[in-house]
Structures are given as structure tokens and as C-alpha cells.
Structure 1
Amino acid sequence: MISSIVLIVSMLLLSAFFSGMEIAYVSSNKIHIELEKRQEDFLGRVLRNLTAQPSKFIITMLIGNSIALVVYSMLTGDLILDQIAQWYPALSTGFQGLLLQTVISTIVILLTAEFLPKVFFQIYSNELLKFFCVPAYLFYLIFWPISWFCIQISDFFLKTFFKSNGDQLQLSFSKIELGNYITEQMESAQEQEEVDSEIQIFQNALDFGDLKAREVMVPRTEMIAVHKDTSIKELNKKFVSTGLSKVLIHEDTIDNITGYVHSFDLFKSPDSIDQVLRKVVNVPETMLAKDVLNTLIKRHKSIAIVIDEYGGTSGLITVEDIVEELFGEIEDEHDTDSLIDTQLTENSFKLSARLEVDQVNENYKLDLPESEQYETIGGLIVNTTEGIPEEGDHVTIDHFTFTILEKSDNKIDLVHLEVGDSE
């Protein structure tokens, strides 16, 4: 009896192993597997051979699981009936005995060989697939003739009756798997450790598809533009004072942008702005950044004016702005200094009002209120006060106190943030 119990437990463990490895392979991150396969160590080579043909691997696990369950059923049948006959003789015969035997065997299988191992292997799929790849490969070699025969039979039916190409299952990567892998890599980095630039670019690329023009644009309040009747001499001064290579041109107001002038065009000694005026592309705020980039490339333009729902100018967007969303900040000889983002003490900060709220929260582990109605620190303050505070004013939002350090006529430039005790 002891030997039978040992065999039964062994079969349950084998069944749990085969079920777990099957779900581990299906649930694992395929990019993680591919990178592990490229390692030139023993486990990397084993994993490479094991997953070279995914369908054979899965069939091998199914065959092993089936054999283990068949042997388990043969061993447990008489054992369970003997125990029932010993304790409840009336239930050990006929349909009642068969039903009780089936229920007990099924419950044991579901708990120990199916449900629990599959849940466990699914949670730690990447780690367990690599850890158990050696014994899995041994069974892969042992059951290879049976799995090859099964694949040939299935291919015959698929090609004959369903006009399919048969066993063509190959390892493929999805956007979700790439996103999960990048998230794992970023979370595994230490808090103060800089994430690899390649990983950051991948993350930016995944987010790029959902990025809208209004999230990338230079806001209206920071646009530099001159009237179309401005003299060439004044325009030249504007180029010198701003350090920009392009200046926007408008008619009556900034809501009517007619184009822009490139600084190089002034070498042509034009008599008026109209002689060197270049057209711009107008795009809506809700247009995806990737579509804006495609539009600019197709039209051979570098600047687009972002229009709001009322037809007014919301901001401007350049090819450089969009590319920076993918590859990070591109240094330019005319770029202005970075936005002020300084921690003075543990609970005190000097911040540019243009900094995004979620960025500040992430950098300093704060919980500043976030909303779809604003994106920046300045937007948070204006949304709360419903106006533009004066320099020196204090604005309290929850346990955060903002002091306005610098402002212009229509926007906040620099603030001091003091973090109080949260209740």
C-alpha cells in the first residue's frame, strides 16, 4: 500500500509539473524567453532547444500529463474502493462506489495537479520556465516519437479537411509583452539608478501611439510671433534677442498665424516679410502626435500650428518636439535653460510652473492633485484660484502651499512649494 501511495503522489507531482510548464510557457513573456535563449550558458542552450518548436513542446507536456493521469487513475481506483469498503461498506459497490471514487479522484486532481500548480506557474512563469527547463527537456526527448506522431496526424487532418498549413506555430511578440517587459526592467532598477536609454526609448515608443498634439506642443503663451508688417530690421532684432532660428508671423492677432520666417532667409536681403514667408500646417489639438509627424514629413514642413476647438491658436508643435518625445531632449545651440526643478529642503521646492504635475509627483513622491483639466503646476494653481495670482501670493491646496515667485501678464512662471503634514 505504501508503494502505491508513493506512486500516486509521484504521478500527481508529475501531472502538476506538466500542467504547470504548459501554462508557464503560454503565460510567459516571449521577449523574456527570447533574451534568455540568447544567453550562451547551459540553461540558455536548453531553453533554446526546448522552445524551438512551440507546438512540440506543448504536445510533450500534454502527453506527459495524460500518461501521469492515466497511471494515477489506475492506481487510485482500487485504493479508494478498498478504503471505502473498510469504512463504509454500503457505499463501496455499484454506482455509488463508482461515483464516490470519481468525485474523490477528480477533486484531488483538480486541486493538486491542475488548479494550484497552474496558478503558481502562471504567477512565476518566466522564472519557473527557466528553472524547470532541464527536466522538461528530458521529457521532451523521451516523448519525442509520440509527439512527432501526434503532430503528423494533426497536420494530416488540418491539411486535408481544413486546408491549413499544419504546424506553423512560431514564437511571436506582442505590444503588451513588450510593454510588460519594459515595465519589469524599469521597476527592477534602483530608485536612484538611471534607466537604460534603450529601455526608456522603448517605453516612449509604446506611449507615443496615444500621445496627442496638445501634450507635445509649446503653449500659446510661450510662442514668439511678430506682425506681418514688422520691418526686416525689427525681425532681425527679434532673431538676435530670442536666439530662435524660426519666428512665427501673424496678421491681426496670434490666432491668425500666416506662416514663419527662417533666419537663413534674411541672407537673401528681402524687402518685406512676405518675400520670405513660409507656410505652416494647421492641426487640431486632438490629433495624434504620430499623425502630426507623418503630416509634416509628407508636406516637407517642420512647424505646425495647433488649433483649438474654436479655431484659435492653442500652441505650436515642431518635428523636434515630437522626436524628443521618443529619444529625449535634443540639445540645440539656441535651446533655453531647463525648467527649474529644485528641492531646497525635505519639504520645500522651487519649481517652474511649466513642470507637469505627474512628473513632480513621480520625482518627489508627492500626491499633488491630478486632473484632466490641467497638466502643469501653473494649471493646477490657476484651476484652483480661477485666476492668475500676483507675485508673493500664497495658494494652499490640501496640505501644499504655493508661493508665486515670478509671473507675467497672463501666466505663472516660478513658484515655491511647501509641503505640510497631511491629515
Structure 2
Amino acid sequence: MELGWALVLTAALVLVTAFFVAAEYSLVRVRETQLAELAERGSTIAALGQRMARRIDEYISATQVGITAANLGLGIVGEPAVFSVIARLFPVDAEAEGLFHAIAFILAFAIVTFVTIVIGELAPKYLALHAPLRLLLLTAAPLFAFTQLVRPFIWAVGGSARLVVRPFGAANRAREATYSEEELRLLVAASARSGVLQESERELLSNVLSFADKVVRQVMVPRTEIVAVEANSTVADVTELAQKHPFTRYPVYREDLDNVIGVVHVRDLVGMSPEQARRTRVTQVMRRVVAVPETMHLDRALAEMRRQRVPLFLVIDEFGGTAGLVTMEDVLEELVGELEDEFDKAAPLIRKQDDGSFLVDGLTSLDDLRERLNVELSDEPYDTVGGLVFGKLGRLARIGDSVEIDGWRAEVTAMDGRRIAQVRVRSAHRQGVPRSQ
């Protein structure tokens, strides 16, 4: 073969290698959702790419066949061609011809290898990693045609490869088209950092991913915070109670909170005359109450609320006693954040102070504390900040008590009876912080 044609063929083989490398990496890198979106718009190339992505093993085998064939061609044609160029550029005497040939051969091998790695391997890989969809749309049709041409050889090679990997449990494994929950979290976080998702979208998606993992115990109003009415109370009593504790619903109990028999809604009391309100017992206007275990997951609780058309559940502990109340608002807030109505207090659960510390309501969930303060709390068997501090102390708390929690110090600043009402949280490394009691 003439030297000129040999050099042209060498360049062509390098480009062929680049084509197959680009096709391989773009096929592996592209997301099927990107192809599906274009296919729905009528792109036939995207539809072809979808088909190829679903049978990725076959097309990856085809690219490997192409890369191997091109590299063999470079060894047969490319290195001798470059060797001939070097020999013509640097003629030597017959005495040094043997040594020169050895040096020229090594140099030719190095040049061909360098060009193949840079142009045939690295450059198309970088392009495929940064623009996989665009490259796949360019390479899909030629790769599909090449695959049909060498299909019998691919079957033979692929079958042999599957026999080799079968002992490792990897035979006939389809392309992973699903992601674990943790992988989805990482994808959401990465999309938010890159600006693809807004912060509100990131927060909503993160809440959705953790929603089914939470149970009603984590979001309920605890028993100690329930404002309820006794079964013998009148509507007038409820009206008076609503002036002090403005809620829309009040549980109705007989004897104690472990025997809740219904719930009264203030909307049902509207329109009653004062005389009628004094004569009417709450048991006459109360609605039914549905009890659920405190271990019920939130997704199931929401589904049950919708199915039974009740906005409130009585939460029962493992001993059959009343643990608390959970409303549809409590459940939905785990998805969309705080929902405030005209009765909600404006004071936030976590308030940053001028000295860098945080005043935290004792009923603040540990999930909220993790998110707001970016605290990496280890797995704790508690749902609230107050419960965590109480557990760390191992006794009834007093104002001024403090405990260390994963590099942060929580100091009790307010009590509500025996319940921890408020704590001050600050970094344990700040100067002047009291030591644990």
C-alpha cells in the first residue's frame, strides 16, 4: 500500500475508534428520561436510542467489536506507515540501520498510541460525559446499522462473556433503570446545587422521599398538649374554652383522656343561641373519632384519612392509652412545610439569637432540628428535642440543666410542669458554655 493511502487509513481508523468510544459512553451515560421526552415529541432517532438503551449489553458489545477491530487495523497499518515516514525523514547509514529501525519502531508505536489515546479515546469520552444526549443522537443510527451487520459475531462473543460472568451472578442482568431512595436523594441534592431545581422544589422532593418512613408518633400533638372537653360539658363550655384555647376541634372524653369518645368541631356550634348552647351537651353534637396506632406510617395515615373522610385521628400507644392526636394538617406539613391558620402562633419553633445560639421549642422534631441547624444527630429513640434532652439527662429536667449532643450543647431554659418547654442550643466549642450536669 502506498504511504499516502496508509496514512489516510490510519487517520480514518483513529476516527473510527473515536466514534465507537463516543457511542459507547453516550449510551451508558444518557438518561432514558431524556430520550423518552424527545421520543414523545416525535424524534425517531430518540426512539431508536430508547430501544438501544433497553438492550444496552448488545450495543456495548458492538462498540467493543468496533474498537478492537480499529485498534488491530492501527497495529497492522498505522505503525508501519508512521515508521516509513520516520525512515524517510531521517535517512541513516547502513551501519546504523539496525539500531535506527529499533528506535524508529518504538517511536512509531509511541506516536500511534498517543494519537489513539488522545483523539480516539479521551476526547470522545470527555464529550460523551458532558453531552451524552447530543452524541447519542449523532451516533445511534450508524451504531444500529453496524450492530445489525455484526450481530452473529456479537451473539457469539456476548454468549461467551455471559458464561464467564455467570458464576458472579451478573449474567442476563438488565440495565439498572431504577434508583434507590438514597440515590434519589443524591440526585435531588446534585440537581439543586447545579441550579436545575429551586430550593422549594428540592425541599418538597426531599420531604416526599422521607414521608413514608415517618410514623404518626413523630408528628402528632402529644397527650400533654391536648385540649379536650369532658363528655358532660355543654356547648357553652366549649365556647368558653375556645376563647382561651382557639382550636377548630376538641376531643371529647369520659373520665380521662384514655377514653376519648368523639370530637366536637366549632363549626357545628355556630348559630346556636346562648340558651341552646347552655342546654346542649357536647355528646349531642360531637362527631366520631377514629383511633390509629402510633406506629402507623404517614402515607397510610393520609390514605386512611381520605378513605374515611376524617381530618383527625386519635393516636393510641402500645398499651391502648391515648398518646396524642394527629390531624391532616400535621401530616401534610411533612410534605409542604408549615401550614398556618388564623389560630396558629406566629412564633417559630427554632429562633436564632444574636449570640449565635438557637432557642428551640421542646416539641420541635429532631428532623426539623437536623435540617435547620445541619446537625448530624446519630439515630436516637426520640422524636422531639425535649425528649432527647430528657433521655440524655436520665431524670426529670430542671432549668439550667445541659447536655451535649453531637458537638452541640442544649441547655434547658423553660419548663412546662415536668415537660421541657424550651432549650437553648449552641455549639459546644464556644467559650463560656457550661459543662454537662
Give the structure-1-normalised TM-score: 0.69
Deviation at 1:74, TM superposition (A): 4.4
Which of 23, 26, 49 aligns to 1:21? It is 26
Match of residue 246 from structure 2: 243
**Structure 2 residue aligned with 1:416:** 424
Residues 332-362 of structure 1 deviation map (CA, whole Å, 9 limit, x = unaligned): 1122224342222454222212223343343
Quick one: which amino acid aligns to residue 293 of structure 2? P
- 1:184 and 2:179 correspond: no
**Partners of 1:178 and 1:373 in 2: CA distance:** 26
Find out whether 1:404 has 2:409 as its counterpart: no
Instruction: Give the superposition deviation at 1:317.
Output: 1.0
How far residue 381 of structure 1 moved from its aligned partner, in angstroms, is: 1.0
Q: CA deviation at 1:179?
A: 5.0
Partner of 1:383: 391
State how far apart, in whole Å, the 1-side matches of 2:45 and 2:186 are: 23
> What CA deviation, in whole Å up to 9, does each residue of 1:371-416 have, x standing for no partner?
331132211210011233223x231326544332221113111222
Q: Secondary structure at the match of 2:241?
A: helix
Q: CA deviation at 1:142?
A: 4.0
Contact 1:394 1:401 (C-alpha < 8 Å) held by counterparts: no
**Which aligned pairs between 1:1-400 and structure 2 lie closer than 5 A?**
3=7, 9-25=14-30, 28=31, 30-31=32-33, 37=38, 50-53=45-48, 54-56=50-52, 63-76=62-75, 127-130=130-133, 133-134=134-135, 136-142=136-142, 145=145, 181-188=187-194, 195-267=198-270, 268=272, 269=276, 271-345=280-354, 347-367=356-376, 369-391=377-399, 393-397=400-404, 400=408
In structure 1, how many angstroms separate the alpha carbons of the residues matched to 2:68 and 2:344?
Answer: 69
Secondary structure, counterpart of 1:389 in structure 2 = coil
**Which runs of no fewer than 5 residues in structure 2 stay unpaired?**
84-97, 100-112, 155-173, 432-437
Cα RMSD, aligned residues only? 4.2
Measured against aligned partners, the alpha-carbon deviations of 1:206-258 in whole angstroms (never above 9, x if no partner) come to 32232322122122221111221234332221122111111111122212211
Q: Show the counterpart of 1:90.
A: none
In 2, the alpha carbon distance for the partners of 1:277 and 1:390 equals 40
Cα contact 1:303–1:318 (8 A) shared by 2: yes
With 58-67 and 347-356 compared, the bigger mean Cα shift is at: 58-67
User: Are 1:258 and 1:279, in contact at CA under 8 Å, matched by a contact in 2?
Assistant: yes
Q: 1:60 Cα shift?
A: 6.5
Contact 1:355/1:376 (8 A) holds in 2: yes
For 1:57-107, what per-residue CA distance to the aligned partner results, in whole angstroms no more than 9, with x for missing partners?
7577654543342233344368899x9xx99xxxxxxxxxxxxxxxxxxxx
- CA displacement at 1:173 relative to structure 2: 7.5
Q: If you compute each CA radius of gyration, which structure gives the higher value, 1 or 2?
A: 2
Corresponding residue for residue 166 of structure 2 = none
Cα distance in 1 for residues equivalent to 2:178 and 2:392? 45
* Alpha-carbon distance in structure 2 between the residues aligned to 1:175 and 1:338: 38
- Contact persistence 1:239–1:247 (CA under 8 A): no
On the 8 A contact 1:31/1:173 being kept in 2, the answer is no
Distance 1:125 1:283 in 2: 53
Q: Counterparts of 2:391 and 2:290 in 1: how far apart (Å)?
A: 31
Tell me the amino acid that sits aligned with residue 225 of structure 2: E
Q: CA deviation at 1:7?
A: 5.8
Shift in Å at residue 181 of structure 1? Answer: 4.0
Deviation at 1:309, TM superposition (A): 1.0
Q: Give the whole-Å Cα distance in 2 for the aligned partners of 1:219 and 1:189.
A: 39
Distance 2:18 2:262 in 1: 73
Q: Deviations over 1:302-339 (max 9, x none)?
A: 21111111111111111222222223222311222243
Question: How many residues end up aligned between the 2 structures?
Answer: 358
Supply the distance in 1 between the matched residues of 2:347 and 2:361 (Cα, whole angstroms). Answer: 9
Q: Secondary structure, in 3 states, of the residue corresponding to 2:257?
A: coil
- Mapped to 1, the partners of 2:345 and 2:320 lie a distance apart of 29
| In structure 2, distance between residues paired with 1:354 and 1:127 | 47
For structure 1, the 5+ residue unaligned runs are: 39-44, 88-107, 155-168
Cα–Cα, structure 1 residues 80 and 210, in superposed 2: closer, same or farther, change >3 Å? same
User: Against the structure 1 CA distance between its residues 7 and 80, is the aligned structure 2 distance closer, same or farther, given a 3 Å change threshold?
Assistant: same
Give the letter aligned to residue 357 of structure 2. Answer: S
What is the distance in 1 between the residues matched to 2:331 and 2:185? Answer: 21
Counterparts in 2 of 1:422 and 1:189: CA distance versus 1, 3 Å: farther
Contact 2:358 2:426 in 1 (8 A): yes
In 1: Cα distance, 2:207 partner to 2:428 partner:
34
Distance verdict in 2 for CA 1:186–1:146, change over 3 Å: closer
Output the CA distance in 1 between the equivalents of 2:35 and 2:51: 16
Letter in 1 for 2:379: S
CA distance in 1, matches of 2:385, 2:128: 42
Q: For residues 267 and 319 of structure 2, what CA distance do their matches in structure 1 show?
A: 34
Cα pair 1:281 1:305 within 8 Å, conserved: yes
Cα 1:66/1:55, change in 2 over 3 Å: farther
Letter aligned with residue 137 of structure 1? L
Corresponding residue for 2:93?
none
Change in 2 beyond 3 A, CA 1:356/1:140: same
